[in-house]
Structure 1
Amino acid sequence: MFSTILVAVDGSEVSKKALEAALEEARVWKSELNAVYVIETGGFENIPADSTMEVVYNRLETIGNEALNAAEEGAKKNSLRYNSYIREGHAGDEIVKLSEEIGADLIVMGSHGKSGIDRLLLGSVTDFVTKHSKVSTMVVRL
């Protein structure tokens, strides 16, 4: 039923649960698994354009690489075809765009992020994706 699955990861506990669900779906359907981490650049205009912005960006990139590495390990353990992506911009927009680019027929994502602010942001990201995506979206809760 699903040949190409896209999972959005951010390193949060609910994101890890979403990855588990995506791995299970990919294993059952023998699907290709694609993982994406989006660096939300929307708040960068409020950060001074000095080394502070670089430190913040590098930290976000590190978090993304760790989350994508976990997805890759899961894909390898399950002998799945796997691709990973780091995108920059509005997370919801980037997830929807990437799903169209790769021909995903299922998007899997968590219901919220790491903290209260992340919950607010990711909650709205989840809402955005479910409203704007042309494919099925699985929202995973803790």
Structure 2
Amino acid sequence: MPNHVLVPFDGSPLAERALRYACAEYGSESITVLYVVDENSDETAAAGWGDHPSEWDDWLDERRDHARDLFTVAEEIAGEKDVQIRTGVAVGQAAEMIVKAAEEYGADLIVVGVHGQSRLEELVVGDVAKTLVRESPIPVTTVRESDDR
């Protein structure tokens, strides 16, 4: 049984499902919910930040505010199972930051939601969950769209 579970959380239905699973299975353990600000995959990111140095800082502040809103949702989900969570925000490439955060928080398990993808989608689309499964030094539990808890 893990002592500390890390759940990457972006507010998507899959992330919510992964958090519900983590709370149901590991609610008596420590759970940290992590939001990663990744300018490469965030549709609100600008194409370039060179014109005004404050644009990056303003955008980053906006994303941190967004994370706080998401954490409110995460706390409601955890509250359904009477589970207390901790939250954290990381900035950088999603898979890399999740692995780094797991180390920093002392997590010994990552729980992440995954899409059921076709073979073509698997070949074309890079997926954070797949990268985590391949590269994480700690176990990764994947929760699929059809896994209900």
Q: TM-score range by the shorter chain?
A: 0.7 to 0.9
CA distance in 2, matches of 1:69, 1:56: 20
Deviation at 1:8, TM superposition (A): 0.5
For 2:38, the equivalent position in structure 1 comes to 40
- The structure that is helix-richer by fraction is 1
For 2:15, the equivalent position in structure 1 comes to 15
Say how many residue pairs are matched: 133
Sequence identity of aligned pairs in percent? 27
Counterpart AA for 1:82: I
Q: What does 1:27-106 correspond to in 2, within 5 Å?
A: 27=27, 30-42=28-40, 44=45, 46-48=47-49, 49-50=51-52, 56-106=59-109
Name structure 1 gaps, 5 residues minimum.
none
Deviation by residue 1:13-62 (Cα, 9 ceiling, x = unmatched): 111111111111222xx101100000002365723545875675455334
- Structure of greater Rg: 2
Q: CA RMSD in A?
A: 2.7
For 1:129, the equivalent position in structure 2 comes to 132
Counterpart AA for 1:7: V
TM-score, normalising length: structure 2: 0.73
Deviation at 1:76, TM superposition (A): 4.0
Deviation at 1:131, TM superposition (A): 1.5
The 3 A distance-change label for structure 1 pair 59 and 140 is farther
For 1:141, the equivalent position in structure 2 comes to 144
CA distance in 2, matches of 1:133, 1:59: 29
